Amino acid sequence: MVADAWLSKELEDKRVLCLACAHACKLAPNEFGKCGVRVNEDGKLKLTVYALAAAANIDPIEKKPLFHFLPNSKVMSIGTVGCNFSCKFCQNWEISQHPQSHNYEVFGYDLPPKKIVSLALEAQCKSIAYTYNEPVVFFEYTYDTAKLAYEKGLKNVYVTSGYETRKAIDELTPFLDAMNIDIKFFKDESYRKISGAKLKPVLETVKYAHSKGIWIEITTLIIPRINDSDEELRDIAKFIADIDPNIPWHISRFHPDFKMLDRPATPVETLKRAYQIGKEEGLNFIYIGNYPDTDLESTYCPNCGFKVIDRFGYIGEIVKNHLNEKGECPKCSNPIPGVWG
């Protein structure tokens, strides 16, 4: 369904400025934004995927990944077609790049905000995640759902590439509890060449969302020969630690996909090297994802080393939360940062 994309500004000559993401598309009538789902219709910005979900699932929250946010709970996850990034390694390219490569055609099934919230409640989810593709491109759909979810006692989560404008974050802040933000690279050139975006807005989003009190976790997919140098990994870890050493950093394993089939999966030694670099830079919580055979998905108390949340098996399969009801280590009472209830 087509709906008003109110996060926008009307300009002269029926042009319109989109205020959702850092691309700041200025669109002439009938022109689509880079994301392929926001279009200028006669001087007004419209969203072509409102209430049109291309994917909806009930997942463990650990799969987002969020490890310090309502552990062992279920999350209703939704996404649409379209994306403001064009990552060559995208694992969800069939939905994220569909409109741009099919003359702005969209697909999905009818899933209005009210229905999402009722499905989430029925399934005993504790939160709703806007995920699979970049949620800020379907901002108005997420906003209406998040507001309704909040009124019903559910929390809301963005899984994002971090290209939100301050205005988008400001609008969402009353209802948005957590964000998992990708820092894909620490080189502007890589962002431009591989993802069709820039580095600086992403870093600004991380800082701004953190300053607004939204719970933040960061994910970096480590791609051989792209972002796996000690220097780049250290830059990312240092950037996170400078904001807050308690921000969890998820190091994720690359698998060849979409337009990036010319290199192998990330060697486990690289993941462990990244883990070590994160520790050296002072990060308290580092996790290795997409590789279940390590014990580096559990949470350890930074004060006494006790394993406070045990995770093993396929991601989110078995989670044993040993924190007390205040979110403290049961051994030394050190508070573990996160959203625990």
Q: How far is the CB of 19 from ligand SF4 (least distance, A)?
A: 7
Where along the sequence are the contacts to ligand SF4 (CB under 6 A)?
18, 20-21, 23-25, 33-35, 38, 84, 136-137
Q: How far is the CB of 47 from ligand SF4 (least distance, A)?
A: 9
Nearer to ligand SF4, 18 or 120 (CB): 18
**Measured at CB, which residue is nearest to ligand SF4?**
33
Q: How far is the CB of 80 from ligand SF4 (least distance, A)?
A: 12
Nearer to ligand SF4, 45 or 237 (CB): 45
Q: How far is the CB of 325 from ligand SF4 (least distance, A)?
A: 40
Nearer to ligand SF4, 74 or 166 (CB): 166
Q: How far is the CB of 27 from ligand SF4 (least distance, A)?
A: 7
Q: How far is the CB of 28 from ligand SF4 (least distance, A)?
A: 13
Nearer to ligand SF4, 136 or 222 (CB): 136
Nearer to ligand SF4, 131 or 284 (CB): 131
Nearer to ligand SF4, 21 or 237 (CB): 21
SS (H, E, C) the chain: CCEECCCEEECHHHCEEECCECCCCEECCCCECCCCCEEEECCEEEECCCCEECEEEEEEHHHCCCCCECCCCEEEEEECCCCCCCCCCCCCHHHHCHHHHCCCCCCCEECCHHHHHHHHHHCCCCEEEECCCCHHHHHHHHHHHHHHHHHCCCEEEEEECCCECHHHHHHHCCCCCEEEEECCCCCHHHHHHHHCCCHHHHHHHHHHHHHCCCEEEEEEEECCCCCCCHHHHHHHHHHHHHHCCCCCEEEEECCCECCECCCCCCCHHHHHHHHHHHHHCCCCCEEEECCCCCCCCCEECCCCCCEEEEEECCCCCEEEECCCCCCECCCCCCECCCECC
